[in-house]
Amino acid sequence: MHAIRIGMTALAVLLVAGTGPAPTQAMESHDFAGEYLMEGWNLNTPGPGYRGVCSVEGGGPAYRVSCTNSDTGHKYVGKGLALGKTFSVLIGSELAVACPELPSDEYLVVYERQSNGVLEGTWINAHDATAGVETLVRAP
């Protein structure tokens, strides 16, 4: 049984190592800082979606992120990490940060910068199966 566990661990390491970015891709510098217009949709429930604005601050690879949903006024804050054209963000409701007894409202969002500069992302709630898609377009 011990040999099987070691073999599975080695296989997992090889799979992760083999799927990582090429060294030149990892070295590419993409600046994600700026102001964005946000639009997204929850894939679990039909509806009109949501809109808002996001601010990304920092010089990379780490960034501070804050977004406000225009419809609800809810503000979300978090951190992002850039690697090549990929920008991953862990973000949560500012209300939950200020008041820990509230239910947690945290999300993992993974964006990929498209050739036109638009960030296309997918997200999942950290505490349930709610998932969706989101785009960020640089504000004019």
Residue 19 is inside which H or E element, if any?
helix 2-19
Residue 102: per-residue pLDDT: 56
Angle subtended at Cα 45 by Cα 40 and Cα 51, rounded to the nearest 5 degrees = 20
pTM for the model stands at 0.75
> Which DSSP symbol is given to 35?
E
Angle subtended at Cα 25 by Cα 54 and Cα 108, rounded to the nearest 5 degrees = 35
Distance of alpha carbon 88 from alpha carbon 43, whole angstroms? 19
10 φ, ψ (degrees, to nearest 5)? -65, -40
Q: Is 47 left (phi over 0), alpha (psi -120 to 50) or beta?
A: left
Residue with tokens 């601010």: 55
Torsion over CA: 78, 66, 136, 39 (sign): positive
Residue 113: per-residue pLDDT: 97
pLDDT in tens, the chain (140 residues): 444 433 333 333 333 334 444 444 444 557 999 999 999 999 998 888 999 999 999 988 999 999 999 988 889 999 999 999 999 999 998 765 555 565 568 999 999 999 999 999 999 999 888 999 999 999 99
**Helices and strands (H, E) in the chain, number of each type:** 3, 8
Amino acid at 130: T
24-138 is classed CATH 3.30.70.330: no
User: What are the residue boundaries of the structural domains of the chain, listed by start?
Assistant: 24-138
